[in-house]
Structure 1
Amino acid sequence: MERYLQHLAVERGLAANTLAAYRRDLRRYTEHLQEHTDPPVTTLRGIGTGHVQDFLRTVSAGAEGRGPLSTRSAARCLVAVRGAHRFWALEGLTRTDPAAPVPPPTPGMRLPKAVPVDQVTALLESTGTETPQQLRDRALLEILYSTGARISEATALDVDDLSRAVRRTGQPEEDGGAMPFVRLFGKGGKERMVPLGSWAVRAVDDWLVRGRPALAAKGRGTPALFLNARGGRISRQTAWTTVRTAAERAGLGDRITPHTLRHSFATHLLEGGADLRVVQELLGHASVSTTQVYTLVTVESLREVYAAAHPRAL
């Protein structure tokens, strides 16, 4: 198992969070083989296709004292198992690949949960701009909605990932007024450049000038864009709390997450006429099929508007 995880980290460059998920899934798989099969399976070559099928049924049903996994989570779990068996077969550790014939469960279509523009605006404006923490939170929220960044991408940002147009406060324009951009590193370390809207630029500028120096003075020096109260890089948990707190202040309840802003970013772009391929590039999706789910959201909103506005719709 460790050899496979090392292969994923070194050869395929998977992110730390993805590796942690694979490790959890594979640990559950090995525990199932050793503790819940009769007789227990203790070697790789003792695993058959029936064992893999039984494991999938178990995690889907919630046996072994654990709750059932959703179809999507069970599919992810099986992906880890299939990948490991394929690797072990290619490395010659097993003669065959017993997981290859086992298809993953097909998850149902789950539409992304975007919120209307006015609710996003209320959320963004719910944070004050008086203290360094408030300036940081406002800049973080604006970055998330302006770029559609994943929460891990936003917290990993360094100051140098901002174009000079964002970082040169008070200096004359040198690039002909070109739109500023931010450099994001997505899954597998894939880099992409995303434009930064004027509202986000102002919020980040305020943070860099009036907020970040105060927090940076408490730390040991870090290139991170967003800092915590001790002057170190902000954590994903703190960023999550920032979004949830802003949503509560805006009266939106607890249904807003950082990914809601990413979904809203994509949905609002498509509703405004953006090309699907452009949105795919901005989101950092490897396949356009992943991005196409947002077109279903916009079509549904068109149906709702039509039904409400056309005199003979109903």
Structure 2
Amino acid sequence: MSASGSELPAIIERFLDSLTHARGRSPQTVRAYASDLAALLRFATNRGARRAEDIDLELLRAWLWDAQASGRSRATLSRRASSVRSFVRWCVEEGVMPSDAANRLRGPKAATHLPRVLGADTVRELLAVLETNVRESADPLALRDRAIVELLYASALRVSELVGVDVDDIDFSRRTVRVIGKGQKERVVPLGAPAATAAMDWVERGRPTVLAQAGIESPSPALFIGRRGARIGTRGVYRLIAGLLGEEVGSGQLGPHTFRHTAATHLLDGGADLRAVQEMLGHASLGTTQLYTHVSSARLREVYRQAHPRA
């Protein structure tokens, strides 16, 4: 494709389409790229840059400076820099741009925050609450809620992975669950015995009751469904976990990822190999998994400070 025909809006649309169909990026990732590139398009258009070849390093740096002056966070600036580097690199590969104008573009480093992690006793107490709900409630969704939390903690799943699990993805004999992670990468993750039992109880007792109450004869293949029989969404899981953790003290976001962080940290605390944890979490980079070693070290230092007489 010649550079003269490279109008920015059309090129951005082509790039976003390639993310979805050629690279298999998730809808959430594509939306983030679309938002960042829409901001770049507005800025570039105001500067008179309407074609891809009009984008140069000076314009990109001015765009980031403008966003910073507008109060954008370091995390947002770093993400925008990463998005535009990917976009420009793709443009060069497609012959839309003659050279990589964004190769030297750097956003500020995002501040590193240690993830929120629950103590083992706290996790046991939360699961005990869900167990009590199962025994005392006539609502079949109590079985579902217990199974959701058990799977999040036992297998360290992302919430998007959890809601995508189908009934057939669980192998109860081997105690594993098949999930589709980022980049449409498939992995098989182990289940603990309590999680497998909770999932089995939901599949055999809770799920059929919900489907019968909803009058559904041809059910969704989804493992976790709502009261009307449709696959539960990420928002439903967030509401469940936020309600469960709402009274827990501490810093950091409250949500399904809390159990993912907690599972990873507890595995490392228990002596699990870092690369095994990386594989279980589905991290492309070992460096991402290493964040949890910092959490483990921080917990160790706090225990030392409280317990050692010469701390």
Question: Does 1:262 find its partner at 2:260?
Answer: yes
Q: Where do residues 151-162 of structure 1 align in structure 2 (5 Å cutoff)?
A: 151-162=159-170
CA distance in structure 2 between the aligned counterparts of 1:14 and 1:208, rounded to whole angstroms: 30
Q: Where do residues 115-134 of structure 1 align in structure 2 (5 Å cutoff)?
A: 115-127=118-130, 128-129=133-134, 130=137, 131-134=139-142
**In the TM superposition, what is the alpha-carbon distance from 1:96 to its structure 2 partner?**
2.4
- Give the TM-score, by structure 2 length: 0.88
Q: Where do residues 1-314 of structure 1 align in structure 2 (5 Å cutoff)?
A: 1-35=12-46, 37=47, 40-62=48-70, 68-127=71-130, 128-129=133-134, 130=137, 131-165=139-173, 179-217=174-212, 218=214, 219=216, 220-248=218-246, 251-252=247-248, 255-313=253-311
**In the TM superposition, what is the alpha-carbon distance from 1:109 to its structure 2 partner?**
2.5
Residue type matched to 1:181 in 2? T
**In the TM superposition, what is the alpha-carbon distance from 1:292 to its structure 2 partner?**
0.7
Identity among equivalent positions (%) equals 40
Kept in 2, the 8 Å contact 1:124–1:246? The answer is no
Q: Secondary structure at the match of 2:116?
A: coil
CA distance in structure 2 between the aligned counterparts of 1:312 and 1:229, rounded to whole angstroms: 56
Residue type matched to 2:200 in 1? D
Kept in 2, the 8 Å contact 1:85–1:98? The answer is yes
Unaligned runs of 5+ in 2: 1-11
Kept in 1, the 8 Å contact 2:172–2:196? The answer is no
**In the TM superposition, what is the alpha-carbon distance from 1:255 to its structure 2 partner?**
4.7
Q: Secondary structure at the match of 1:8?
A: helix
Higher fraction of helix: 2
Deviation larger for 276-285 or 126-135? 126-135
Question: How many pairs align?
Answer: 290
CA distance in structure 1 between the aligned counterparts of 2:65 and 2:123, rounded to whole angstroms: 41
CA distance in structure 1 between the aligned counterparts of 2:262 and 2:111, rounded to whole angstroms: 21
Residue type matched to 1:205 in 2? M
Provide the aligned C-alpha RMSD in A.
1.6
**In the TM superposition, what is the alpha-carbon distance from 1:73 to its structure 2 partner?**
2.2
Kept in 1, the 8 Å contact 2:55–2:101? The answer is yes
Q: Deviations over 1:275-306 (max 9, x none)?
A: 11111111111111111111111112111222
**In the TM superposition, what is the alpha-carbon distance from 1:88 to its structure 2 partner?**
1.3
**In the TM superposition, what is the alpha-carbon distance from 1:104 to its structure 2 partner?**
2.8
Residue type matched to 2:55 in 1? I
CA distance in structure 1 between the aligned counterparts of 2:242 and 2:129, rounded to whole angstroms: 11
Kept in 1, the 8 Å contact 2:152–2:259? The answer is yes
CA distance in structure 2 between the aligned counterparts of 1:140 and 1:205, rounded to whole angstroms: 12
CA distance in structure 2 between the aligned counterparts of 1:164 and 1:101, rounded to whole angstroms: 50
Q: Secondary structure at the match of 2:95?
A: coil
Kept in 2, the 8 Å contact 1:126–1:246? The answer is no
Q: Secondary structure at the match of 1:183?
A: strand
CA distance in structure 2 between the aligned counterparts of 1:195 and 1:94, rounded to whole angstroms: 46
- Give the TM-score, by structure 1 length: 0.88
Deviation larger for 152-161 or 50-59? 50-59
**In the TM superposition, what is the alpha-carbon distance from 1:108 to its structure 2 partner?**
2.9
CA distance in structure 2 between the aligned counterparts of 1:33 and 1:124, rounded to whole angstroms: 52
Q: Secondary structure at the match of 1:184?
A: strand
Unaligned runs of 5+ in 1: 63-67, 166-178
Kept in 2, the 8 Å contact 1:216–1:232? The answer is no
Deviation larger for 270-279 or 198-207? 198-207
